[in-house]
Amino acid sequence: MKKKILILSLAFAPMLSLAAGTDVTGAITTVTNIFKAVVPLVLGLAALYFIWSLVGYISKAGEAKEEAKTQMIWGVIIMFVMISIWGLVNILKDTANLDTTVPTVDLMQ
């Protein structure tokens, strides 16, 4: 678990360091842009998980059917939580009137 956290933090460190030279709004904008890229992907994976569970529910019988039903319920819960958090982030962003334009960085200087 610690190794995964380290890898993720190293993967996102360059993006966050580009925002370090700006104000807090720039850092928040960078994090928001990361979420804008990752959330649809994860939401799509959750939808695929739900569909896979639905196919399993239709094709199986007995105890395996109950397991697929539980997986479908968890898939719906996961999608609900992700969409809710995504909405809360957008509400906070709009409430704080944050500038969501991405600053350009000239690396050739």
Kindly report, residue by residue over 70-92, the tens digit of the pLDDT.
Answer: 888 888 898 898 888 878 878 88
Single out the residue of 25, 79, 75, 35 nearest to residue 53, CA to CA: 75
Question: What does the block give as tokens for 107?
Answer: 């690396």
Q: What is the pLDDT of residue 89?
A: 78
46 has a pLDDT exceeding 70: yes
CA atoms within 13 A on the CB side of 19: 19
Q: How many CB atoms lie within 10 A of CB 52?
A: 14
Q: Identify the CA nearest to 81 among candidates 52, 49, 41, 39.
A: 39
Full-model pTM: 0.52
Close Cβ partners of 54 (under 8 Å, ≥ 6 residues apart)? 68, 72
Q: Is the pLDDT of residue 19 over 60?
A: no
pLDDT of residue 69: 85
pLDDT at 14: 60
More confident residue, 38 or 105: 38
Tens digits of per-residue pLDDT, 53-62?
888 888 887 7
Buried/exposed code over 60-86 (b: 16+ C-beta within 10 A; e: otherwise):
eeeeeeeebeebbeebeebbeeeeeeb
Over pLDDT 90: what percentage of the chain? 0
